[in-house]
Homo-oligomer: A and B are copies of this chain.
Amino acid sequence: MATQTAAEQREEARKAFDAYFSQCPSRKLLDRLSDKWVTLVLTALQAGPCRYSDLARRIAGVSQKMLTQTLRVLERDGLVSRTLTPSVPVRVDYELTPLGESLMPLVAAIKSWAEAHIEDVERAREHYDAVNA
Query: Which residues of A pack against B, CB within 8 Å?
Result: 13-14, 16-18, 21, 25-31, 33-34, 39, 60-61, 75-79, 99, 102-103, 106, 109-111, 113-115, 117-118, 120-121, 123-125, 127-129
Contacts and interface: CB of A to CB of B under 8 A. Distances in A.
A33 B115 CA distance: 15
Contact of A61 (B21, B102, B109, B120): B21
Number of copies of this kind of chain in the complex: 2
Contact of A118 (B21, B28, B61, B76): B28
Given A103-B113, A109-B109, A114-B25, A13 B60 contact: yes
A14 B60 contact: yes
Contacts of A17: 60-61
